Structures are given as structure tokens and as C-alpha cells.
Amino acid sequence: MPSLIKEVRKLFDTEDLYEVLGVQRSATKSEVKKAYYKLSLIVHPDRVSLDDRSLATKKFQALGKVYSILSDDEKRVVYDETGSIDEDDVERDRDWSDYWRLLFPKVDLDAIKDFEAKYKGSSEELECIKDAYLKCKGDMDGILNSVLCSTIEDEQRFRETITKLIGENQLPEFDAFANESADKSAARKRKAKKEAEQAAKVLKKMESATGSNNLEALILRNQKNRQEASEDFIRQMESKYGASQGRSSSGTRSKKGANAKRSLRSAKK
């Protein structure tokens, strides 16, 4: 069994427990709990696609362990002073989903929707977008996976925000962002469509077994509807303007494909 430090390094690319939660060492208990809550929402196994569920579960469990250390005064003091963790203090066999529900018993679909509505478009989200852009060096796949509550339908909004920040010299221009290939963009849309289809299958089974009041079923249904609406719009625009055209013989995108991309952006504004 790997140590917690090795576990978080593998999952979050850092050995610093505070960095995992995105807080300062001087953070209060309330700030630590709030950070844990927000991050756990991102990787909660009930909120990710089936393909990502295994990794999300590992991250969700690791976050619970990190929080259990930093929320305990004695364990936190030891960690702050030594930079290490007594592995005997790490609860390995705990049900971290039950632990999460004990900490946040009022979390339901309405609470999640309310949080998303307040978070999207906020200054907090803006800082997260900037951090994700820098960390991922402009890679949109990484940005969408990093920003809280983001889905494929947020891509255009993120692009417009980042482009504005680049124009204001608040962010550098990365080639991965400025010159993303049509194939990469199309692959991202195909993945979103596949996830929506998988969610629909799971939803159908769950509704058949338990009815439509199940929280996970409702979340999956909401995700499916939003993703399918986005895909329908994109499909219509590609059909109209030919955005799915391949590259020309010279190795560059066809003029028609470039015009389609600009038209799509204009239409979404």
C-alpha cells in the first residue's frame, strides 16, 4: 500500500497536501473544508463519465485522506512541522463516500445546481480558468478537465475569455490554444457525445430499477440533455458551413473549414 504522500504525488502531481487542496498553509479550518468540498465535487464518482470513474474514485478517496489530516489539529501540526505523515494516522479502510456525506449532508441536486449557477461567470471561476490555462499550457482538453463544473458547452465561453486575457497581456499565447487542430477539437466533441450516450444507457437502467428520483439519475439526465443540445447545435453548424472538412493537400486547413470555425464562434456569441 503506497503512502499518502506517494498517492497524492501520483494523482495530483504534488507532495504538498495544501497544494492538493489549493489553499495556503495559513488557511483556516473553514477554508480547508471549503476547498475540499469544491474539489471533491469535481472528482465525485457520481459526477464523472463512466470512462473516468475509476480515476475519479481514487482522487476522491485521496482527497478524503488529505482532508482528514489537515482538518485534525494535532495531525496538521505534525505535518506542518515535519512535512511528513504518520501513516498510522491515515484511515485506509474508511468508506470515504460515507465520510463525505457526513460532512456535507445537505448536498443534493438543487445544491449542486445552485453552486454551479453562482460559480460560473464568477471571479473565482475566472482565476481557475487562468490557472488551468497556464498549468495546461493552453491545452483545451486539460482546461475543461481542470475547471470546476465545466462541460463541453463551456468551451466557447472559455475560449473567448482566454482570448481576451491574451489580448490584454494577462496571459501568454500558447500554440496549443491558438493553433489547436480540427482533428483534436473534433475528438473532444466525439468524446462528449460518447459520454452522453453512456450516461443515457446508465440512466435507463437506473430508472427501470429505482425510478427517476435517484440523485445520480437526475445528474446524468441533466448532463445528457446539455451535452446533446450542444452536439446538435455544433452538428447543424458543421453541416451548414462544412466545419468537418479535412486539411488541404498543402497540409493546412481548407479555407472553407476556417470560415466555418469563425462562423461557429460568431453564432455562439
Q: What is the mean pLDDT of residues 26-43?
A: 86
Stated as kind and residue range, the H or E segment containing 239 is helix 215-241
Task: With 0.75 as the threshold, say if the pTM is over it.
Answer: no
For residue 136, CA distances in Å to 7, 133, 163 come to 21, 5, 15
Stated as kind and residue range, the H or E segment containing 163 is helix 155-167
Q: Which of 60-64, 83-87, 115-119 has the lowest mean pLDDT?
A: 83-87
- pLDDT of the residue at 163: 96
Q: 253 in helix, strand or coil?
A: strand
pLDDT digits (tens, 9 = 90+) for 55-83: 888 888 888 889 888 988 988 998 898 88
Q: In this prediction, what percent of the chain has a pLDDT beyond 70?
A: 65
The mean of the pLDDT values for the chain is 75
pLDDT digits (tens, 9 = 90+) for 236-245: 444 444 433 4
Sign of CA dihedral 129, 262, 228, 201: negative
pLDDT over 80 (residue 214) = no
Q: How many CA atoms lie within 13 A of 130 on its CB side?
A: 15
Q: In this prediction, what percent of the chain has a pLDDT beyond 90?
A: 26
Q: CA triplet 128, 131, 137: central angle to 5 degrees?
A: 135
Distance CA 139, CA 132 (A): 9
- pLDDT of the residue at 267: 40
pLDDT over 90 (residue 252) = no
